[in-house]
Amino acid sequence: MIVWIILGAIGGLIALILIIAAFSKKDFAVERTITVNKPLPETYDFLTSLQKQNQWSKWAQTDPNMKQTYIGTDKTVGFISKWESQHKQVGEGEQEIKKLIPNQRIENELRFMKPMKSVADAYFTVASEGEKHTRVAWGFTSTTPWPFNAFMLFFNMENAVGKDFDEGLSNMKKMIEAE
């Protein structure tokens, strides 16, 4: 009798999660902005480099011992930056330059292998704010598959990743303004 009660409770909990997932959003986006004291062309050129990104990104700094591999020519469509780390916040994955719109937008695809497989679209947009200043937006979008999207109700991606974007943009600003 008690086994049936336990099995019924587990089945009810699973059904509840599946129902919540059916009505929960699957897509999410995070974006942060900063203004750098450099002209737009210099800022755009700096941001197109995935190799330079590893010098200022929060995640690359989290594990200075991570293994990096590059495929192709940096700053060109198709260039891939791969990483492998034992650090749980860094994991394993790769980033590929997918589209470059000169002095406007850089689009990359992030493919995470560990700790969890997923794909996200990342981007930078740049806009002139006068001769010597550029506004930079860094963001990404992704989709959490059903039924795992139910857990997004308890996990705030904006707070979790947003602070890392803020730190990365601050590092990038210091680095580019020092050049």
Number of domains in the chain: 1
pTM over 0.85: no
| The pLDDT value given to residue 18 | 58
Q: Percentage of the chain surpassing pLDDT 70?
A: 78
CA geometry: angle at 129 spanning 42 and 132, to 5°?
Answer: 45
Give 164 or 124, the one with higher predicted confidence: 124
What's the pLDDT at 97?
97
Report the CATH number at residue 22. 3.30.530.20
Query: Average pLDDT, stretch 140-161?
Result: 65
**In contact, 171 and 56? CB cutoff 8 Å:** yes
- Residue 150 pLDDT > 60: no
Q: Which residue range(s) make up the domain with 125?
A: 2-178
**Which comes out higher in pLDDT, residue 70 or 161?**
70
What token pair was written down for 11? 């089945």
